[in-house]
Chain A
Amino acid sequence: MQITNFEELEIGDDLPEESPDVSMATVTAFCHAAKHVFERFIDHEAAKKEGFPAAIVPGIMSQGLLASMIHRWAPGSTILEIDTVFRGSLLVDSKITMTGAVTDIDEDERTVELDLAIVAEDGRTGVIGTAQVQVVS
């Protein structure tokens, strides 16, 4: 559910779960935009030769996916800070799930603190993070 009223936010509120597109086509497009065109991101067989189970989603893309989720949850919001820890590989062409929850609210600054995570298809947590977001609604 999108935020429609800042005053109704509560600590513990969950952001809607999302499963973003991490297909090979989309990850490859990201790599070209980021000028990070490395085989471990865009070629399953090459990634296996490097010891990965398959091609992996770039860490900086996973952060971008979380940012987009925040913008959908809080339209018009401004992300002031986003901090992500890359704990494990997220595989290209797999189903990954993004979650978030409100952990603090500053009513004077109209900002919220979020906990963020991305879970891989096999249940491993690939990314954890936090964000500080200024909400306009």
Chain B
Amino acid sequence: MVPEELKYTDTHEWLRIDGEYGIVGVTQYGFEKLGDVVYVELPDVGSKVKQGEAFGVIESVKAAVDLIAPISGTVEEVNESAKKSPENLPKDPYGESWLIKVRIENPSEIEKLLTNNAYEELIKE
């Protein structure tokens, strides 16, 4: 079961909406697909991210995968401990392992994201 209150992308990112801010992370399923995470590249505070475009990279022993922004906005905060200890990321995908916090530019973009039910349907095997 994926958390009900979040929105999802088909590339396995999640978005938690907190007023005018959005917090972004990778889903548990996304981490399972990746395997051991060894490196994360995240944008600088103050930079802009755009819905549907890469904002960073996550590397596992298997591959490097682009992180796709679920929403457009300005990066307000970056999870420094994610950068320092990327290997811990899969342990708490919806909590400690958030990646960036953005100031949402256009709230109507949220409608384009998947609901928890739609996302669960997507990852059903």
Q: Do A and B come from one complex?
A: no
